[in-house]
């Protein structure tokens, strides 16, 4: 694989899987909450795992289409994967399109919904949480979701700026050709 699973990926996966199992063990307790905060947590964990998996898959597919040396592909494809809106292969194009047009908007709306639900749980039924630490962790996870969104929105803005520059350069080249 181009960008193989790193130690950080393994820690992320293990911690999210542990959180899913922990959530499942207290599922019935969460049913007493005024909003289904446990469902929000589970889906948001799944989204993060999905986004990371898609990023690894897309970077690998992008490196396969480049055809340069494997070491160069590892660094370029992984680092620039979401910035490049003009991938040559169908798989990397599909992953980038899904990430920007489906995944990011869904996660943005899901995080906003989670904010609303957590707010209602804190105000109406804070005792429904299995432990006080679960409530604090849910707030911390929500903060991490917003940080993730801010970073990806920033990457998206950079990708759009780069695409605009490429289009402008292509237009300038066409103008030179026509002269």
pLDDT in tens, 121-176: 999 999 999 888 999 999 999 999 999 999 999 999 998 898 899 888 888 888 88
Q: What is the DSSP letter of 137?
A: H
Find which of 53-62, 67-76, 121-130, 159-168 is predicted with most confidence, using mean pLDDT. Answer: 121-130
Helix (DSSP H) and strand (DSSP E) numbers for the chain: 7, 0
Closest residue by Cα to residue 82 from 74, 93, 73: 93
Q: Which residue has the higher pLDDT, 86 or 103?
A: 103
Contact (CB, 8 A) for 32 and 72:
no
Reply yes or no on whether the pLDDT at 70 is more than 80: no
Closest residue by Cα to residue 89 from 66, 105, 111: 66
Residue 21 to residue 26: CA distance in whole angstroms: 9
pLDDT band at 65 (very low <50, low <70, confident <90, very high): confident
Three-state DSSP class for residue 99: helix
Predicted confidence at residue 179, as pLDDT, reads 66
Model's pTM, two decimal places? 0.84
């Amino acid at each position: 694989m181009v960008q193989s699973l790193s130690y950080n990926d393994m820690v992320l996966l293990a911690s999210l899987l542990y959180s899913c199992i922990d959530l499942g063990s207290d599922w019935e307790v969460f049913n007493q909450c005024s909003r289904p905060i446990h469902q929000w947590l589970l889906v948001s964990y799944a989204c993060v795992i999905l986004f990371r998996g898609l990023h690894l898959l897309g970077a690998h597919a992008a490196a396969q289409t480049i055809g340069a040396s494997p070491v160069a592909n590892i660094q370029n494809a992984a680092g620039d994967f979401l910035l490049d809106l003009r991938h040559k292969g169908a798989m990397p194009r599909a992953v980038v399109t899904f990430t920007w047009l489906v995944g990011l908007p869904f996660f943005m709306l899901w995080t906003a919904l989670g904010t609303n639900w957590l707010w209602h749980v804190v105000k109406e039924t804070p005792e429904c949480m299995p432990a006080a630490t679960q409530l604090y962790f849910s707030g911390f996870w929500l903060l991490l979701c917003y940080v993730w969104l801010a970073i990806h929105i920033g990457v998206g803005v950079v990708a759009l700026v780069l695409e605009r520059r490429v289009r402008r350069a292509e237009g300038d080249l066409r103008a030179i050709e026509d002269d």
